[in-house]
Amino acid sequence: MTTRVKTAKGRKVGSTKWLQRQLNDPYVKKAKAEGYRSRAAYKLLELDEKFRFLRGSKAVVDLGIAPGGWSQVVRKKCPQAAVVGIDFLEVTPLDGVTILHMDFTDEDADARLKEALGGEADLVLSDMAANTVGHPQTDHLRTMGLVELGLEFAKDVLKPGGAYVAKVLAGGTDHQLLAELKKHFNTVKHAKPPASRKDSSEWYVVAQGFKGRTDGPGVDIEADAEPAEQRPTP
């Protein structure tokens, strides 16, 4: 049965539509029933079901942790893992997770994260997205800038064999960034998990098999095994 929401005085039509969508979203209902802080938890669960990057992870960094759904998944799947998260938004504490309340783009964010991590990571996750301004090209560039920052951080902290998983927008990973990912990881693939709304422009890039920190030239690798029509155009 569909729940309908009446437009209340002072509430915009867009807000009413968003509220109605939330009330009727099966992933929202499932998240509440299973104790996850957001429906985004299922995006990570579905991505991991396909790519298995959480398996054996003992140290994980969660970039853009708010509200904490992804870190909840990590703790559930890898209860012994050390998890460090960062976000400029306030995040309610999570058992077993170190949370830094600061902007990842701040100059000292890298150093603070590395200090909290205390060593190398098996996995760097990024569900970060820049605040939208309503101009698709600008929004895409700003979010891809965060993906690039996340990649630079991942290259500094990942163990050989580690993985980097990040949200991108429709249009996919641009050629320069894709080449950089291929250079440093054995496999690079795009995916849109079922929990990601069909009308959403978000996709995820999953880079696995980190080759280690080296200045040597990387080997170019086929970016994706998915049919071309099922992934964003680079």
Residue type (1 letter), 120: E
- The pLDDT score that the predictor gives to residue 88 is 95
Q: Is 156 annotated as a binding residue?
A: no
**61, β-bridge pairs:** 84, 124
Residue type (1 letter), 149: L
**Burial tier of 97 (Cβ tally within 10 Å: 0-12, 13-18, 19+):** buried
**Cα radius of gyration rounded to whole Å, the chain:** 18
Q: What is the CATH number of domain 38-230?
A: 3.40.50.150
Q: Is 95 annotated as a binding residue?
A: no
- The pLDDT score that the predictor gives to residue 181 is 96
How do the pLDDT tens digits run along the chain, 234 residues long? Answer: 444 545 555 545 444 443 445 445 788 899 899 999 999 999 999 999 999 999 999 999 999 999 999 999 999 999 999 999 999 999 999 999 999 999 999 999 999 999 999 999 999 999 998 776 666 677 777 888 999 999 999 999 999 999 999 999 866 567 889 999 999 999 999 999 999 988 888 899 999 999 998 644 333 333 343 433 344 444
- The pLDDT score that the predictor gives to residue 7 is 53
- The pLDDT score that the predictor gives to residue 197 is 82
Task: List the domain boundaries for the chain.
Answer: 38-230
Q: Which of 43, 167, 182, 192 is catalytic?
A: 167
Q: Catalytic residue at 167?
A: yes
**Main-chain phi, psi angles of 159, to 5 degrees:** -80, 155
Secondary structure string (H, E, C) spanning the chain: CCCCCCCCCCCCHHHHHHHHHHHHCHHHHHHHHHCCCCCHHHHHHHHHHHHCCCCCCCEEEEECCCCCHHHHHHHHHCCCCEEEEEECCCCCCCCCEEEEECCCCCCCHHHHHHHHHCCCEEEEEECCCCCCCCCHHHHHHHHHHHHHHHHHHHHHHEEEEEEEEEEEECCCCCHHHHHHHHHHEEEEEEECCCCCCCCCCEEEEEEEEECCCCCCCCCCCCCCCCCHHHCCCC
- The pLDDT score that the predictor gives to residue 26 is 85
Determine the Cα–Cα distance for residues 53 and 47; give it in Å rounded to an integer.
9
Residue type (1 letter), 155: K
State the first-to-last Cα distance of the chain, in angstroms, to the nearest integer.
40
Q: Is 18 annotated as a binding residue?
A: no
- The pLDDT score that the predictor gives to residue 199 is 80
